[in-house]
Amino acid sequence: MRKPQKETEQSNRTITRRAMLVGTAQLALMGALGYRMQSMQIDQADEFRLLADENRINIRLIPPARGLIFDAKGVPLAENEQNYRIVMVREDAGDVEEVLGRLRQLVAIPDDVLADAIEELNRRSPFVPVTIMERVSWDDVAKVTVNAPALPGITAEVGLSRHYPLGADLAHVVGYVGPVSDFDLSRIDDQDPLLQIPRFQIGKTGVENKLERTLRGSAGTRRIEVNALGRVMRELDRQEGVPGADIQLTIDAELQTYVEARLEGESAAAIVMDLETGDLRALASAPSFDPNKFVRGISVADWTGLTEDPYRPLAAKTIQGVYPPGSTFKMITALAAIEDGVIDPEETVYCPGYMDVSDVRFHCWRRGGHGNINLHESLKQSCDVYYYDICQRVGIDKIADMARRFGIGVEHDVPLSAVATGLAPDKEWKRRVRGEDWRVGDTVNASIGQGYVLASPLQLAVMTARLATGRSVSPRLIHTINGVEQPTGAGEPMGLNENYLRRIRQSMYDVCNHSRGTAYRSRIVAEEARMAGKTGTSQVRRITPEERARGVTSNADLPWERRDHALWVNYAPFENPRFAVSVIVEHGGGGSAAAAPIGRDVTLQALYGGEPPLSAYPSNVRSRIAEQQERIRNRIAPGSDAASQA
């Protein structure tokens, strides 16, 4: 049935309106889409281009070259050498174990090294390069390169690694570097992203550790293009970092090498200090160790040998070791007493070989005593009873104050690991630390450097330097940083009575140069090099009354670990002092027999800038000294670069 015309026309008008509405909506939508596309492609193009670049470009760090370390004459003590290494990217390798098996057919990889590498591969992201083996030969690099198709994910690289050309001679001073460990990250507040690089090396001990940020430098960067999985496609550009600063120490490597050789066979330490500047010319601790083994990865056998050695080769005895200073402390007690006015230097004290204090008998080292003795003779002959007497007059607090003025019980500012503070005890210290009152017997013990008194070889060298100069000389180890000289330790006048100091110095001179002096056998006979010094013996065991009654057991008859420590301090030349020296020989027995000869030899080596003439020694020891010099020359000649490079 046909619709009426009017109805048809109305239906057509309705359809036309709907079509126009739909068309208008479609046109508006297309316009909006077009506008948005224009906005994104033109107006916001830079923003989206940046987002796209951030998705496909990674920034990788480039480790900087570590700063070098030199001695006072420019001899390299820590340098960088090329290090060929084999690295693996896990995601490129496919079957890691199979590829490593092929690699081991070409290159000898120890089992423990391989195990460490596999552990590192599993810890890191699959696209991070991990070192499989370091310090491989050029032949091994060639083998890896030639067989690259059969070793997916394996490449050979060249980098820089630390090397210590003088080995054990400077190990305790320079220290060594090693890979950043989780323990390192937990104890240092350092946000440097370099520390996150696998096997990145930082200073572990010594100057390497204390000046880590100075030596490390700052990282460079390289922009690399990666795919969605993070695989490197190509390098776009790079910006090199800033290398670490070069450091020059005050150490004289040639002298240091000699001192280490002179201490060979002992558990000992010796320091040579320049009196004009406070520069530490030698800082030797024996026995030592090869720091290069730690850089390369020390074996279990080597580590066990170092840690189980009773001579403690890993300990820097010069600055970490603290010992009762024995009779080397007597100058401090004497100065405290005469500065306070409680004694006159010419006043005598009678020494029968002992003194009873509070029902306790304190003995002098000389069983029969010294008779009537004054300040000068008490130092020259090292009488103990003299100091038992005067210490009770001056009191421990003033003795402790004087000790600290001379650097004992003070942590000196040198950039080395675990610098010991030592101890100059007083009444307040004992109450605070031990919860006990100070006793007169404590003062008596402290007066001769026993009891609670503790000092390091460094502190004894500082004490001697201040006695020799009357200035507050302080130790300096860093000479320059990137060519900029660091402040010296010359110090200011201490304000002590010069007449009293002269008396102490003259007494120390007679210790070495008077026939009744305790170090007369270790004197220097060359007029221009004569020294002033003081022996010391640090008791490490209690001698019972029963043992004294039957005769004190000789150190030679005791086990090594129960023998007394031997100490020595000196400065030279007496008329125009240039160097202060301190020596400690652990369980060496008497200071005059074990430590003083070392101090004399070291002093002469420093004064003459090399091997001294035999005429500087007493005639009765010249043949023995000639043999000793020959032995030391033979010891240092094969491996010493110091003499040839100086």
β strands within 435-543, DSSP E: 478-481, 484-485, 532-538
The segment with the largest mean pLDDT, out of 10-24, 196-210, 347-361, is 347-361
Structure token pair of residue 39: 């906005």
- C-beta of residue 598 within 8 angstroms of C-beta of residue 457: no
Which tokens is 105 given?
Answer: 């057919």
Instruction: Return the pLDDT at 545.
Output: 74
- pLDDT at res. 300: 87
Lowest mean pLDDT among 9-13, 30-34, 164-168, 525-529: 9-13
Mean pLDDT across the chain: 89
Q: Which domains are assigned to the chain? A: 59-249 (3.90.1310.10), 253-298+315-645 (3.40.710.10)
When pLDDT is cut at 50, 70 and 90, the band that residue 143 belongs to is confident
pLDDT at 544: 74
pLDDT band for position 582 (50/70/90)?
A: very high
Each residue's pLDDT tens digit, 402-440 = 999 999 999 999 999 999 999 999 999 999 999 999 999
Q: Which residue has the higher pLDDT, 49 or 272?
A: 272
Q: How far apart are CA 405 and CA 411, in angstroms?
A: 12
Residue 21, pLDDT > 80, answer no
Q: In this structure, are residues 313 and 287 in contact, taking their beta carbons and an 8 Å threshold?
A: yes
Confidence of residue 27 (pLDDT cuts 50, 70, 90): confident
Share of the chain above pLDDT 70, in %: 90
Provide mean pLDDT across the span 365-392: 96
* Between 335 and 32, the higher pLDDT residue: 335
**What is the per-residue pLDDT for 639?**
47
* Cα end-to-end distance, the chain, whole Å: 123
DSSP state for residue 276 in the 8-state scheme: T
Burial of 493 (0-12, 13-18, 19+ CB in 10 A): exposed
- For the cut 70, the answer to whether the pLDDT of residue 48 exceeds it is no
Mean pLDDT of 467-485: 97
**Which of the four pLDDT bands, split at 50, 70 and 90, describes residue 645?**
very low
Q: How confident is the model at residue 533 (pLDDT cuts 50, 70, 90)?
A: very high
149: tokens are 């198709």
Contact yes or no for 279/252 (Cβ under 8 A): no
Say what percent of the chain tops pLDDT 90.
62
- Return phi, psi of residue 225, to 5°: -90, 130
Average pLDDT over residues 315-319: 97
Closest CA to 540 of 514, 566, 572: 566
For residue 226, the Cα-to-chain-centroid distance in whole angstroms is 43
Q: How confident is the model at residue 30 (pLDDT cuts 50, 70, 90)?
A: confident
Residue 91 has pLDDT above 90, yes or no: no
- Helix, coil or strand: residue 120: helix
Query: How far is 167 from 154, CA to CA, in rounded Å?
Result: 33
Q: What are 237's strand-pairing partners?
A: 223
For residues 423 and 329, give the distance between their C-alpha atoms in angstroms, rounded to a whole number: 12
Q: Please compute the mean of the pLDDT values over residues 230-253 and round it to a whole number.
A: 82
Buried/exposed 536-569: b ≥16 CB within 10 Å, e otherwise: bbbbeeeeeeeeeeeeeeebeeeeeeebbbbbbb
For residues 583-604, average pLDDT: 96
Q: Are 327 and 534 in contact, with CB atoms under 8 Å apart?
A: yes
